[in-house]
């Protein structure tokens, strides 16, 4: 584990947030009926708030109120966590890690029990070859389930994938709550790497690998949703040109 490895994980997480936020704005702007957009967002918003609840339970924060879904989205109000600094980071960014894991579980379930075909996605995206493998896997996912052998269950899978990815990015208030803690945690990670203390570096390596896995999954499924959003992008581009 080195400083570059930590920075790669952070950059991946930042890209996932940007991709999720951009896709959410795209779908919000192009879906003409507000009720339909809310329906698309429903599963993702509920799981997003459940992720915050799990973060509260893990950090000892007392939950004061929960709104799983409304026209404005959802919310979880909680007291200060027992873990200083890092507690706010865990609670605020929990959806960024837990939602991709949930999508991974959905992918397994749809492939195992409902006959959907999913190629093996790259475990990491650290090399140009991995991106080429990812592009091939994305094309195979859509062609195998919609063209080669149409599977109606895949449409439900796409609905869940779109909904969950649109809800991955932490909200503005979440990022404000976690900002100071994220800076301190990042500095602490860099100092641990520089210290060279074997036990501390080993623990940090395990945590970074775990976060990196979640962020990579978020990036992979975000690109799946981006591929599914291409018709909307095309329609939006035509609308602006006309």
Write out pLDDT tens, residues 168-191: 888 777 777 766 667 777 777 778
Question: How many whole angstroms separate alpha carbon 58 and alpha carbon 42?
Answer: 25
What average pLDDT score do residues 70-87 get?
Answer: 84
Write out pLDDT tens, residues 32-72: 888 999 999 999 999 999 999 999 999 999 999 999 888 77
Question: Residue ranges of the domains in the chain?
Answer: 3-241
The β-bridge partners of 70 are 73
Residue 216 burial by Cβ neighbours in a 10 Å radius (0-12, 13-18, 19+):
buried
């Amino acid at each position: 584990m080195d400083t570059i490895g930590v920075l790669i994980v952070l950059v991946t997480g930042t890209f996932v947030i940007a991709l999720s936020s951009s896709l959410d704005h795209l779908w919000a702007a192009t879906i003409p009926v507000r009720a339909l957009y809310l329906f698309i967002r429903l599963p993702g918003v509920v799981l997003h708030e459940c992720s915050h609840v799990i973060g509260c339970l893990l950090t000892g924060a007392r939950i004061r109120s929960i709104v799983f879904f409304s026209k404005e989205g959802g919310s979880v109000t909680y007291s200060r966590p027992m873990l200083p600094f890092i507690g706010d980071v865990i609670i605020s960014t929990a959806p960024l890690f837990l939602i991709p894991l949930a999508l991974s579980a959905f992918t397994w379930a749809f492939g195992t029990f409902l006959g959907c075909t999913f190629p093996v996605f790259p475990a990491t995206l650290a090399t140009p070859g991995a991106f080429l493998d990812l592009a091939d896997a994305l094309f195979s996912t859509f062609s195998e389930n919609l063209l080669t052998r149409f599977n109606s269950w895949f449409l439900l899978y796409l609905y869940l994938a779109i909904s969950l990815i649109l809800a991955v990015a932490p909200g503005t208030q979440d990022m404000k709550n976690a900002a100071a803690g994220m800076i301190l945690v990042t500095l602490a990670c860099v100092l641990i790497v520089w210290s060279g203390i074997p036990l501390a570096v080993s623990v940090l390596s395990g945590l970074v690998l775990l976060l990196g896995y979640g962020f990579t999954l978020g990036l992979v499924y975000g690109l799946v949703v981006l591929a599914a959003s291409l018709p909307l992008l095309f329609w939006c581009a035509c609308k602006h040109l006309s």
